[in-house]
Amino acid sequence: MSGALVTGPDGVSRCPWGVSTDDYRVYHDTEWGRPVHGDDALFERLCLEAFQSGLSWLTILRRREGFRSAFAGFRIASVAEFTGTDRERLLADEGIIRNRAKVDATLANARTLADWAPGELDALIWSYAPPRAGRPAPVTVADVPAVTDESKALAKELKKRGIRFVGPTTAYALMQACGLVDDHLAGCVARGG
């Protein structure tokens, strides 16, 4: 069955994408789908998902440390203070994706979020987590949606509050990455209980 669990060389069953490279295996096993809390941590994931738009996640994953270095560890307060000189530095930084629209959105989003109360981003994002009860574990990759009603609503609310470069697909990828949903396939070693 295409898109079903794959047993890796280590004898462990994983989602098919989780065995394609060592980078993906580590990310799959230790991070993807696990709950993430904290405004700065969620800001990082939101930014990385936006940078990923139109690209492979592996491209972002392999440049993650470059992104963290370039964007002051994704500390909202620090990024909100970036100047035009910082913007030009980012656009010249080969360690990240030098997409002008995505860099500008990251800087604008940090400025917007700097005005939010501590914990407000965390509370907002997690308020869109669907109930786990009654949500069946996907059996194949084809069972995993790209967009849900919750991701549409989250994207709409984030945009309403001034957050740029986030649509329903990006919002759902964020929800998956940060553990609001568990889209590990049934029987996957990383699937939660």
Q: Are 34 and 183 in contact (CB under 8 A)?
A: no
Distance CA 170, CA 183 (A): 15
> Is 126 annotated in the active site?
no
* Catalytic-labelled residue, pool 17, 31, 57, 116: 57
- Does 188 count as an annotated binding residue? yes
- The residue with tokens 């574990």 is 137
Distance CA 103, CA 106 (A): 5
- Does 47 count as an annotated binding residue? no
> Is 27 annotated in the active site?
yes
* Catalytic-labelled residue, pool 24, 32, 44, 49: 49
C-alpha separations of 23 from 32, 36, 85, 186 in Å: 12, 19, 33, 22
Distance CA 98, CA 46 (A): 17
Q: How many residues does the chain have?
A: 193
Q: Tell how far CA 69 is from the center of its chain.
A: 18
- Does 15 count as an annotated binding residue? yes
> Is 17 annotated in the active site?
no
Annotated binding site: 15, 28, 184, 188
Annotated binding site for Zn(2+): 15, 28, 184, 188
Residues forming the active site: 27, 49, 57
